[in-house]
Amino acid sequence: MRGLHNRAICRHGSRVNSAHSGSIRFFRVAGIQVFVHWSWFVVAWIEISTRLNVYSSPVWNVAEYLGLFGIVLLHEFGHILACRQVGGQADEIVLWPLGGIALGRPPPRPGAELWTIAAGPLVNVVLFPLLMLATMACESAGWSARVPDLGRFLFMLWSINKWLLIFNLLPIYPLDGGQILRSLLWFGLGRGRSLKIAAGIGLVGIVALTAWRLQQAPDDWIWTVVLAFFLGQQCVAGWRHAAALRAAE
């Protein structure tokens, strides 16, 4: 898997202290403020300029990159709206080169946390058949033959959404899959112990995923290392927070 769309992270976060650092206010809707980190624009230029051979015009490269983060943004809105639905506070989203973070604080209950986390991937589940039907309709109507870039663009959006869904459901904390695992364990093991187990599984998963990725795509090692470092950092933070929670319990 190559390209930024295979590296994007969609996640819900309640303790990202430096999330706004270096971020620019982008727009506000329904009381939800969307921020974009300055590095997003740098990586956008790099990714778009290195994929000029994919489409006949760079305009389609720009559209694909924006489509990627349009899908990420919808995913994060799913987290935000679900958090509000269960009585939590959530009103900010930060987009950065590796994906997006929805900043919210659901009520400290396993059910509320589970719904808040699961709502993000559910957005991708809904988008999956819609983008597939759009791709098929484009093909059957003959538009793909007349405008090959359009058919390629719709297929890429479908592929991006598919891989985002698969990647984010991996049981690696703090990805959505890891947080869903933690929420399920919370029902029987308590808040602190469930987080400690999820963080521990996440650390093992990061090592395995990094080793596999480096073997499959050695040329993409820089982004693999960056992603592994970020996920590992969050796992360690989760492990420490779990220790504090268990001490409080």
* CA dist list (Å): 100 to 77, 155, 176: 10, 22, 12
Q: Which of 102, 137, 169 is the last residue of a domain?
A: 169
Q: Which of 107, 134, 169 is the last residue of a domain?
A: 169
59 and 144 both lie in a single domain? yes
How far is 140 from 145, CA to CA, in rounded Å? 10
157 and 184 both lie in a single domain? no
146 and 189 both lie in a single domain? no
Amino acid, single-letter form, for residue 244: A
58 and 130 both lie in a single domain? yes
Look at residue 70 in the predicted model and tell me its pLDDT.
Answer: 93
Look at residue 30 in the predicted model and tell me its pLDDT.
Answer: 86
How far is 173 from 179, CA to CA, in rounded Å? 6
Look at residue 18 in the predicted model and tell me its pLDDT.
Answer: 53
Look at residue 11 in the predicted model and tell me its pLDDT.
Answer: 58
Instruction: Give the number of other CB atoms < 10 A from CB of residue 2.
Output: 12
Name the DSSP class of 170. Answer: S
Contact 14, 75 (CB under 8 A): no
Q: Provide, rounded to the nearest whole percent, the portion of the chain with pLDDT above 90.
A: 53
Question: pLDDT tens-digit profile of 214-234?
Answer: 998 888 888 888 889 988 988
- Count how many domains the chain has: 2
Name the DSSP class of 35. Answer: E
State which residues of the chain have pLDDT below 70: 1-20
Burial of 166 (0-12, 13-18, 19+ CB in 10 A): middle
24 and 94 both lie in a single domain? yes
Contact 98, 226 (CB under 8 A): yes
Look at residue 224 in the predicted model and tell me its pLDDT.
Answer: 86
58 and 97 both lie in a single domain? yes
Burial of 7 (0-12, 13-18, 19+ CB in 10 A): buried
Question: pLDDT tens-digit profile of 134-184?
Answer: 999 999 988 888 889 999 999 999 999 999 999 999 999 989 999 999 999
152 and 118 both lie in a single domain? yes
User: To the nearest whole number, what is the mean pLDDT of the chain?
Assistant: 87
2 and 88 both lie in a single domain? yes
205 and 225 both lie in a single domain? yes
How far is 174 from 239, CA to CA, in rounded Å? 11
162 and 232 both lie in a single domain? no
Look at residue 19 in the predicted model and tell me its pLDDT.
Answer: 58
Domain that holds residue 242: 170-249
9 and 95 both lie in a single domain? yes
Q: Across-strand partners of 11? A: 101
96 and 119 both lie in a single domain? yes
